[in-house]
Amino acid sequence: MERLLCSMGMETCYHPEQRSLDIDPTRIRWPEAPYDLVRKMRASFFVLGPLIGRHRRARVSMPGGCAIGARPVNIHLKSLECLGVNITVEHGYVIADASQMRGGLVNLEFPSVGATENVICAAVLARGETCIENAAREPEVADLADFLIAGGACIEGHGTSTIRIQGVERLRTEAYSVIPDRIEAGTYLAAGALCGGAIRVCGCRARDLTAFLADLRLTGCEISVESDGNLDNIILKRSSPIQPVTEIVTLPYPGFPTDLQAQMMAVLCLAEGTSIVRETIFENRFMHVSELNRMGADISINGNTAIVRGVKHLSGSPVMASDLRASAALVISGLVAQGTTEVLRVYHLDRGYERIEEKLAGLGARISRVKIHPSSTVR
């Protein structure tokens, strides 16, 4: 993402000691996001809304990223057209002309996080009022709104299904601390649930993981929360066998997050009984199933439903990561598998986790990163 911003002429500077990133957007030379960068990460497409708002025009490549389904961008484009943005698609690029942009009513056919965020970023600098109905309620959407409000935007209702935005002339520069990554926190909790024993995940927000924690408790885990100001420490303990869960259904927030489905399925592979996992968000998000089965899991798929029959143990084997969350599921499965597990294509993993192998090793895992040209392996 940083390379993408710099390709437009922005200046960035990362400070690893402070874990902060400075971004200077005053020198943008051209509002274009090229294919070579956008294809590597779907979130790159989220520059469309901000470019439209700030520059009234944009040329952004159609996105790439994880192979978890079609995830069409039509909902993004239709929503921006509700604000008077003229959009055409030519040669794989979305070309937007927002010279006549104005506030308007946007009724999302699905509470898409990305579409909600793109509309917010465009509407904060549009003339008049914008109302987004059926908006995504994910914590990341609310955090984006809080960031924009800190810079002078006028937004109400973020965190609910109706968001109202009154356009302003300009935004000012502000320092801002983003919320913790709830999916990263959930992944480490899933690892603790799978391996047993006790784990403390620090600096997260338990309120963002309510549905996930409820289902983890059903597996037999004891979970408690220590509040530390605005952040929490979540303590998970498991000393008894993993129990099956009757049904887990992925839903938009505040339901069970699709981004934790693969990790939860890894936990259920060792449950004492049969569990059902139903995926309602992405039509192709069971690509990790075949790899888990290679490790000895007993999972069958019927449409958007996976039937997970618990087994006694998993066996280490070479497996291939197909997407970001599948990578995480395979890594945490390797922690309990008998023998050595090799996870290939971990470049997917690095888009969502910072030094995951170091953090797991700090808990006693025998895990290391081995560079093998032209791909990488986590073993």
Tell me how many helices (H) and strands (E) the chain has.
12, 21
**H or E element in which residue 278 lies:** strand 274-278
Give how far Cα 140 sits from Cα of 114, 121, 285, Å: 10, 13, 21
Measure the CA angle with vertex 29, ends 27 and 35; round to 5°: 125
Residue 45 corresponds to which tokens in the numbers above? 């497409």
Residue 87 corresponds to which tokens in the numbers above? 């959009």
CB 236, CB 223: distance < 8 Å: yes
Pairwise CA distance, residues 47 & 44, whole Å: 6
Pairwise CA distance, residues 193 & 219, whole Å: 8
**H or E element in which residue 23 lies:** strand 20-24
Pairwise CA distance, residues 216 & 236, whole Å: 9
Pairwise CA distance, residues 102 & 99, whole Å: 9
Give the three-state DSSP class for 30.
coil
Q: Which residues contact 148 (CB under 8 A, 6 or more apart)?
A: 120, 121, 124, 155, 171
Question: Please, which residues bridge with residue 337 across strands?
Answer: none
Pairwise CA distance, residues 158 & 143, whole Å: 9
Which one of 6, 66, 121, 204 is the catalytic residue? 66
Q: Is 66 a catalytic residue?
A: yes
Neighbours of 168 (CB within 10 A): 17
Pairwise CA distance, residues 13 & 361, whole Å: 29
Catalytic residues: 66
